[in-house]
Amino acid sequence: MTEARTETRGPVWIAAIILFTTLLPPEVRVTVAGIELFSYRLAFLLLLPFIVRHAPANVRKPLPSDLLVLFSVVWMVAAMVANQGLASGIQRSLSVAMDLLLGYVVARVSIASINDLRRLFVIMAPMYLVAGLLVMAESVTHRLIVQPVVRSFFPNIEAMGIVMTSLANYQARLGLFRGVGAFPHPILGGLYLASLLPLYFSSQLRGWPRKVGLLSGCLAFFTVSSTAFMILALSIGLLFYDRITLMVQGIRWQGLLLMLGLGLLAYQLFSAHGLIGLTVKLAVDGNTAYYRSLTWQFAGAAVAAHPVFGLGDGHFARPVWMVSDTIDNYWLLLAVRYGYAVPAAQLLATTTVMFQLGQGSRAVDRTDAYFLRGICMTIGVVTLGGFFVALFSGVQIWFAVLLGCGANCALFARGQDKLRQSRTIAEQRARSAIMPPRPAAAR
């Protein structure tokens, strides 16, 4: 592979531990000084000395995505302080903001090369399979399995403010129970698992890790979620198009992106409900679709009225009969809580990393280039999935880790390209130095 001769290994085990904790049930947590310490936050605290130790070796200079993520985190805290006051604002925002920052930093510290990322997903493949099989088992048996077991190990779980999920909160679709497994919600579980499909398919791993990872991604079907179905279909379509670009000369990703952009622009301008209506129509359940449209209407109006710092933890104005103020849209939720700046910064960071991955794929060999495009697809489908569900708990960590891994792999690819160019120049100079001068008559 491209980096075989110049590879520097990072502490992949740090990222593996963090990703493992994202697969633990959210009920595994404690509350300290009003801050919920989920399993991944406890892991962050325990691993902090190792993160600090390895950071200087792997995070040598800031990237544009680094600055955008840091800006987003600072603005989240500032917005909550502006809305809730100093003490309450810091308490309410710091944990969520640090989830984003630490997930990103862990990836930047742990992944030093493209092969490091492959090693990470070899380690994670069995864990993803277990997570997917638990979802499938709940789906086909029509009963919860993970949460009752967790409750038996944590008898005081309700005293910690954790509400057990009941069967009444779920419904059967297509004859299957909406499996949740160890995830906070079936939609989040479907998003997480389905995003593994392009990652493992493009990884070029040999043997069982690739097969196990692909199987884990396909098990997202058993969440019976429209978001999971959409991401699975989109991932397969993107992988198929990528294969066409390799087989047919003249077909490039730029053409697809241009057509997609023009198509979405036309839909926004000439359709009755625009792109917001499109996200609503993709819901499997009609009631969910209607409620989402109302959420867009009233939450969007609240953001327009408070564009700078949002509402904090305040409730947006809505009809009395809309009992829940839940927002099933990560980007809209960020805007409601913190204003336009936070979702704009995170989307810009995502776009920047994806663009750099695309550029980096031109600087490495075909095997690594395919993997970089797969990482780009995964980041893209998770970002799109954020328009259909609020990314929180371990899935937000997954999103942040993906961004950090993408930034590092793109940086590594550019470094390999510069190294190759410098070697070529050195070889040319060496050949020029040993060649005898030509006679004057020959000049």
Residue 77 neighbours by CB distance under 10 Å: 18
The pLDDT score that the predictor gives to residue 59 is 78
What's the whole-number mean pLDDT along residues 132-146? 90
393: left (phi over 0), alpha (psi -120 to 50) or beta: left
More confident call, 392 vs 406: 406
- CA 154, 158, 164: angle at the middle one, nearest 5? 90
**Phi and psi, residue 220, nearest 5°:** -60, -25
Q: What is the mean pLDDT of the chain?
A: 81
The pLDDT score that the predictor gives to residue 152 is 76
Q: Which range (40-54, 217-231, 237-251, 312-326) has the least confidence?
A: 312-326
Do 438 and 388 contact (CB within 8 A), yes or no? no
Do 310 and 338 contact (CB within 8 A), yes or no? yes
Q: How many alpha carbons lie under 13 Å from residue 391 in its C-beta half-sphere? A: 25
83-87, 138-142, 158-162, 256-260: which is most confident: 138-142
The pLDDT score that the predictor gives to residue 6 is 53
Q: What percent of the chain has pLDDT over 70?
A: 77
The pLDDT score that the predictor gives to residue 76 is 92
List pLDDT tens digits, range 5-23. Answer: 456 788 999 999 999 999 9
- Burial-class residue 304 by CB neighbours within 10 Å (0-12, 13-18, 19+): exposed
Q: How confident is the model at residue 57 (pLDDT cuts 50, 70, 90)?
A: confident
- Evaluate if residue 85 carries a pLDDT over 90: no
Prediction pTM value? 0.86
Do 16 and 47 contact (CB within 8 A), yes or no? no
More confident call, 379 vs 179: 379
